[in-house]
Structure 1
Amino acid sequence: MRSSRTTALAVAGVLSIGLLASCSSDDADGTGEGGKVKITVAGLLPTADDAAKEQLAERVAAFEEEHPDIDVETEDYEWKASTFTTQLAGGTLPNVFEIPLTDGKTLIENGQLADIDAQVRALPYGDDFNEALLANGTGDDGKVYAVPAKSIYAVALHYNRNLFEQAGLDPDQPPTTWDEVREYAKQIHDATGVAGYATMALDNAGGWQLAAGANSRGGVIETFDGEQYTATLDDPAVAEHLQWLHDLKWEDGSLLDRTDLGWGDINTEFAAGNLAMYTSGSDVYNSLVEANGVTADWGYGLTAIPTSGDGGALTGGTMAAVTKQSTDEQKDAAVKWIDWWYLSKLQDQDQAVADARTRAEADPAQAVGTPVLPIFSKENYEQSLEWVADYVNVPLEDMTGYTDVMFDQELVPEASAAVQDLYAQLFPVVQAVISDEDADVDALLATANEAAQQAIDG
């Protein structure tokens, strides 16, 4: 999740470029001026800078030139567990909206997504998706209701290379174990006064990152025996990671003393130089550039999340879906937009170059080449990077701790059943550990696990 992107998974949203605020403002039959099909779509985070807005506007204009019978309007949109359900029930989502990868199945089962199977299968690459990813948007009837769209990520460790240097650490040798992360965090704090580490603790993002920490240590927050899903929030690896956070805060004093950091909040603090390391989706550099003003020479570093035993990197991402209220004409237009905005740049060289060029030539420039996991295949991913090589502007030389292992590291999928409910039960435990030195972790996890199981059973 980013939501999860957080995920985070936590996840991207859309910027209104002087246009309508919600799909409720569409004409009832989905037609606009001159009989065009009118759709509202998600695009950028509400905090995106002017350059990102301009880049989106250029891509919208190019799309409308290519499809003169479609009128596209963009909206502010940021997926949050606390507001999404209300937006969905109230019909205020744009025609094309974004959801965490793991939410697709539940929304499909609840009949809350439009059937876009015919439109997706008709795409030139409709049969080329990574099947494991597409399965998250496929119903029991075999039809496609959502497609992996962007930000397919593994949770990774983000760090400030300048703070490493100020503390006498080699930024080209980032930590590879959690013990080293703790050592580096204390050394940075002692040398600079800046928090060496921070964690998300607000809303489901806090539970998402606690789960990522547990996964990296070989634990899981849910099991499935072929018939029954069982909550395992009391897995020893969950408690181990909580104890690690406790020690950073109460023994070392190196943990940022904040219990109110969500996905966007921690990005803001990191960009401001108020913390040296944190975990989030491997793709978060895009948002740091677009919403937080980070530049290629800022001093950003990316490396793999530390793992031990059977541990791996929690993976997730974003899917694009279409509202049930959309007309057949809007569904056709919506999938054409999904193809244009999210996918064709991975399959078509001209589209890849056009998208990269507008991003790289924006003022300030937007990120091109941030490492992500492939929506189609590794070969397709590498080919698409070759197409845009002249425009890649991210500091890849400072991301090798991640890129050297991104296709080889063990990946851990998010929990399948009631994952957002599981995250919702975990984040208060994170907050308790940060704010109360004597928090009873075992008792807190036992209570959280009982509530999580009820959510699964429900």
Structure 2
Amino acid sequence: MRFNRTTALVMAGTLSLGLLAACSDSDDDTTPEASGSASAPAGTDEPVTIKVAGLLPTADDAAKQQLADRVASFEDKYPNITVEPEDYEWKNSTFTTQLAGGTLPNVFEIPLTDGKTLIENGQLADIDQYVKELPYGNQFNPKLLANGQGSDGKIYAVPAKSIYAVALHYNRKLFTQAGLDPDKPPTTWDEVRAYAKQIHDKTKVAGYATMALDASGGWQLAAGANSRGGVIETSGGDGKYTATLNDPAVKAHLEWLKALRWEDNSLLPRADLGWGEINAAFGGGEVAMYTSGSDVYNALVESNGVTKDWGYGLTAIPTDNNGGALTGGTLAAVTKDSTDAQKAAAVKWIDWWYLSKLQDQDQAIADAKTRAEADPPQAVGTPVLPIFSEENYQQSQAWIQDYINVPLADMKGYTDVMFTQNLVPEASASVQDLYNALFPVVQAVISEKNADVDKLLDEANTTGQAAIDAAAK
């Protein structure tokens, strides 16, 4: 998991992508002007320097060159603004210290569900006027934008990228080697288990792996529970939250992992896999299947050597009992101590780097062309959920059709349902603490054959509820 996940709002149960496809209530449906035009955020022409969140520390040279090219184009358009990218990876273990210590770049990324808490704590800059001056400032999906708005209605962060649903990633070549049809990926957890065992028995490669390190382990355990119809937190609608880490669906997914590990010997026996580590294991051919955000293909290409011909497959996470796919994403925010000139410049950069390619054809093509022509090429066209509307998403994909280089034919198990599947929002109150309470249980199941799942979950639930109660005081 890339992100801390704590908010002041709870959205219980499942929701359809109709929420994500919602448009603004604006009556203006004209095509936006080119991003960065005279209608882009105003500001002085005084020289200003901003530091911005760049790439993962493990990004390859092609990704770094693509970023450098975009920076150069931005500075050509805005000669008074100097942009200094910094390697950036959100980590629970370091973010709070960076925020408190003032060491974050002016533009930084936070999880979709983290915005409300940071806003309430007064830790994000007010960028409302600059965002509203964007050509599309009133066209954000309101359900997503709400995560970056304060109780005063002002905007402090905007949906920026990687609005994802948790999905199942798989190695098509290992499927073939094991005698499985890669065009027919598993659709139930029982099938995932059977496929994992067959892959291990035939190829000696682990059929399945799960994140277990730090909050990542709790995040993916929650995703498994959500897919089975369970939740890790409930709310009575009165502002009070109850931890449900011992929900039957949480236990069911743990027992399923336990069976893969100790009965089938098909689970990769590593309890040290976080988001980056499991990507590396998958890219290195150590495992055939795992769950993560549906957008992770970009990172696999940029940091883990995966190419279009590598054999990557993507399909929807299995669901039953009215379960759904856990969703999340990224907000772009600006540091509280940024000057007004830096705030204006920061929103120009957010527009340029994250959003203009979704709204303006020239920017969309420029970004896609730069990525596609990098050496090696970077991923273009990875399916993600829409920041604005489904119609806008389809239009932006059409603009870059000539540059799309991801194996969309091998992602149909996901793309066929991405606009219709049930989506489950993350828990709200103290969710990071809930994830942190859960990951030791995942590690225990992987490391201890006789791990007492009931006892471990009850203890985790007590810890999680204590965190919720402490935060409410």
TM-score by length of 2: 0.90
Pair 1:190-2:190 in alignment: no
Pair 1:238-2:250 in alignment: yes
Partner of 2:78: 67
Partner of 1:93: 104
Partner of 1:431: 443
Residue from 383, 396, 403 that aligns with 2:408: 396
Residue from 191, 207, 212 that aligns with 1:180: 191
Residue from 103, 116, 124 that aligns with 1:113: 124
Pairwise mapping of residues 36-185 of structure 1 onto structure 2 (< 5 A)? 36-185=47-196
The one-letter code matched in structure 2 to 1:411 is L
Q: Following the alignment from structure 1 to structure 2, what is the Cα–Cα distance between the partners of residues 365 and 424? A: 37
Partner of 1:255: 267
The one-letter code matched in structure 2 to 1:380 is N
Q: Following the alignment from structure 2 to structure 1, what is the Cα–Cα distance between the partners of residues 84 and 46? A: 15
Q: Following the alignment from structure 1 to structure 2, what is the Cα–Cα distance between the partners of residues 35 and 124? A: 23
Partner of 1:9: none
1:2 Cα deviation after fit:
3.0
The one-letter code matched in structure 1 to 2:251 is A
1:437 Cα deviation after fit:
1.0
Partner of 2:349: 337
Q: Following the alignment from structure 1 to structure 2, what is the Cα–Cα distance between the partners of residues 408 and 246? A: 31
Partner of 1:292: 304
What secondary structure, in the 3-state scheme, does the structure 2 residue paired with 1:234 have? coil
Moved >6 Å (runs of 4+):
none
The one-letter code matched in structure 1 to 2:103 is T
1:62–1:319 Cα change, 3 Å: same
Q: Following the alignment from structure 1 to structure 2, what is the Cα–Cα distance between the partners of residues 423 and 132? A: 24
The answer as to whether partners of 2:4 and 2:110 remain within 8 angstroms in 1 is no
The answer as to whether partners of 1:105 and 1:137 remain within 8 angstroms in 2 is yes
Q: What are the ranges of 5 or more consecutive residues in structure 2 without an aligned counterpart?
A: 6-44
The answer as to whether partners of 2:163 and 2:386 remain within 8 angstroms in 1 is yes
Partner of 1:447: 459
The one-letter code matched in structure 2 to 1:316 is G
What secondary structure, in the 3-state scheme, does the structure 2 residue paired with 1:125 have? coil
1:362-410 Cα shifts (integer Å, max 9, x gaps): 0000000000000000000000000000000000000000000000000
Identity fraction in percent: 78
1:413-453 Cα shifts (integer Å, max 9, x gaps): 01111111111111011001110111111111111111111
1:168-214 Cα shifts (integer Å, max 9, x gaps): 00000000000000000000000000000000000111100000000
Pairwise mapping of residues 261-276 of structure 1 onto structure 2 (< 5 A)? 261-276=273-288
Partner of 2:425: 413
Partner of 1:387: 399
Q: Following the alignment from structure 2 to structure 1, what is the Cα–Cα distance between the partners of residues 140 and 267? A: 41
- Kindly tell me the number of residue pairs found equivalent between the two proteins: 431
The answer as to whether partners of 2:372 and 2:380 remain within 8 angstroms in 1 is yes
Partner of 1:8: none
1:122 Cα deviation after fit:
1.1
TM-score by length of 1: 0.93
Pair 1:204-2:215 in alignment: yes
Q: Following the alignment from structure 2 to structure 1, what is the Cα–Cα distance between the partners of residues 366 and 137? A: 22
Cα RMSD over matched residues? 1.2
The one-letter code matched in structure 1 to 2:327 is T
1:4 Cα deviation after fit:
5.9
Q: Choose between structure 1 and 2 for higher RCO, CA contacts under 8 A separated by at least 6 residues.
A: 2
The one-letter code matched in structure 1 to 2:108 is F
Partner of 1:282: 294
The answer as to whether partners of 1:4 and 1:205 remain within 8 angstroms in 2 is no
Partner of 2:333: 321
The answer as to whether partners of 1:2 and 1:316 remain within 8 angstroms in 2 is no
Q: Which moved more, 1:167-176 or 1:419-428?
A: 419-428
1:35 Cα deviation after fit:
5.5
Q: Following the alignment from structure 1 to structure 2, what is the Cα–Cα distance between the partners of residues 453 and 71? A: 46
What secondary structure, in the 3-state scheme, does the structure 1 residue paired with 2:187 have? coil
1:392–1:157 Cα change, 3 Å: same
The answer as to whether partners of 1:2 and 1:317 remain within 8 angstroms in 2 is no
1:86 Cα deviation after fit:
0.4
Q: Following the alignment from structure 2 to structure 1, what is the Cα–Cα distance between the partners of residues 156 and 322? A: 33
1:3 Cα deviation after fit:
2.6
1:233-279 Cα shifts (integer Å, max 9, x gaps): 11100000000000000000000000000000000010010000000
Q: Following the alignment from structure 2 to structure 1, what is the Cα–Cα distance between the partners of residues 449 and 81? A: 58
What secondary structure, in the 3-state scheme, does the structure 1 residue paired with 2:381 have? coil
1:19-74 Cα shifts (integer Å, max 9, x gaps): xxxxxxxxxxxxxxx96100000121110000000000000000000111100000
Q: Following the alignment from structure 1 to structure 2, what is the Cα–Cα distance between the partners of residues 387 and 82? A: 39
Partner of 2:30: none
The one-letter code matched in structure 2 to 1:2 is R
What secondary structure, in the 3-state scheme, does the structure 1 residue paired with 2:420 have? coil
